[in-house]
Amino acid sequence: MLTIADLSVKSRDGKQLLSNVSLRLDKGECVGLTGASGAGKTTLIRTIMGTSGKQLLISGGDIQADGKSILEASYKERRAMCGRYFGFIPQNSMTSFFSNVKIGKQIIETYRLNLSMTAAEAHELAAEMLRLVNLSDTDRVMSSYPGQLSGGMLQRVAMSIVLGIKPTYLLADEPTSALDRENRALLTELLSGYKDGGILFISHDAEAIVSLCSSVCVMEHGRIVESKETGLLFRAPQHPWTKAFVNAAERSRRENAEWKQLR
């Protein structure tokens, strides 16, 4: 169980980024996190991962993973948790992979660091995982540079890495926003199939939130303004931002349905 209790974070120049954020994420559960851009969602990820060094100052609250507070853990321990214990799906995988290194090399490197296996085993696991995210031509994918693959394929590669390592908690930062319709549906399906750990799903994509998340938190200016079970939130939104979000989502869902019958 990952519990974030009244977490408050300030940036180096004193701007308050998060103020008493509380959130619970259980294994096998998917919690949605949405809100206007700049509400502090990415800051939350950076704080959990603990990779921002001196840029972020924890001014209050705590993050407990399976009963142990990770804020007290040493820098080395926290970095060891990244990848192994906390998985991550980037928003724009076109810029997230090293563009001058072949995809296969980057996958194998991640596996070997997190699962301490030999190169051959890592290569085997990579191929198997790529097939799982139906990138069947594994050799071509692994021998090409990120620039030679489409956004959708790269996002699936990122997913395959997560499936290979099976982290206890998976943080997804707007994984579907840069994708077109089919890839979006495909990635949502892959995410729904991931039961080996809790997912913190950050997104604007109402459809994905409805189909994936059991409960949703809405953030505004670093504060959680509403946190409910998904169905309840869409039926009776309280906060003005949530209301507008739900109306817009509702209207676009209805129009898409209409348009589909027309064709």
Partner 1 sequence: MNLTRGTVVFILRKILEVILTVLIVTVISFVLVQLSPVDAAEAYLQRNQTPITAETLEKTRCEMGLNEPLHVQYVNWLSKAVTGDFGRSFVNNKDVLQTEMSAFAFTIKIILLAGIFEAVLIILVGSLCYVCRNRISGHIISALCFAMISIPPFFLASEYLDIIVVKMGVGSVVGNAGIMRYLPAALSFVPGTAAFFAPLLATNITYQMSLDSADYARYRGLSEKRILFRYAMPAALISIIPSFFQMLALNLAGAIVIEQVFSIPGLGYLIMSGVTDRDPPVIHATILLLAICLSLFNISADVIRRIISHNTDLSMVHT
Partner 2 sequence: METITVKDVSRTYYDTNGDLFKALDNVSLEWKSGESIAVMGESGSGKSTLARLIIGLEKPSSGKILFDGEDTSKWRGNRWRRCRTEIQAAFQDEKGTLSPSRSVMQNAEEALCNLTSMKKSERYETILRLMVQMGLSNNLLSVPVRALSGGEQRRLGLLRALAVRPKFLVLDEVTAGLDLITTESILDLLAEYKNDHGCSYMLITHDLSAASRLCSRMFEIEHGQIIHESVQ
Pick what 263 binds: partner 1, partner 2, none; C-beta below 5 to 8 Å, kind-dependent. Answer: partner 2
Quick check: 210 and 234 in contact, CB under 8 A? Answer: yes
Residue with tokens 């869409």: 234
Token reading at 262: 């027309």
186: left (phi over 0), alpha (psi -120 to 50) or beta: alpha
* Shortest distance (Å) from residue 214 CB to partner 2: 22
Contacting residues toward partner 1, per CB under 8 A: 49, 51, 54, 79-80, 82-84, 86, 88, 90, 92, 95-101, 109-110, 113-114, 145, 147, 161, 171
Which part of the chain contacts partner 2 (CB under 8 A), choosing from 7-15, 42-50, 222-230, 251-259?
A: 251-259
**Residue 69 Cα distances to 65, 83, 175, 206, angstroms:** 6, 18, 27, 32
Residue with tokens 């998340």: 213
Give the residue with the Cβ less far from partner 1, 31 or 161: 161
Task: Give the residues across from 217 on adjacent strands.
Answer: 33, 227
| Residue from 15, 76, 259, 261 binding partner 2 (CB under 8 A) | 259
Letters for 43-82 (x = contact with partner 2 by CB under 8 A, - = none) are ----------------------------------------
Give residue 3's identity as a one-letter amino acid code.
T
Pick what 251 binds: partner 1, partner 2, none; C-beta below 5 to 8 Å, kind-dependent. Answer: partner 2
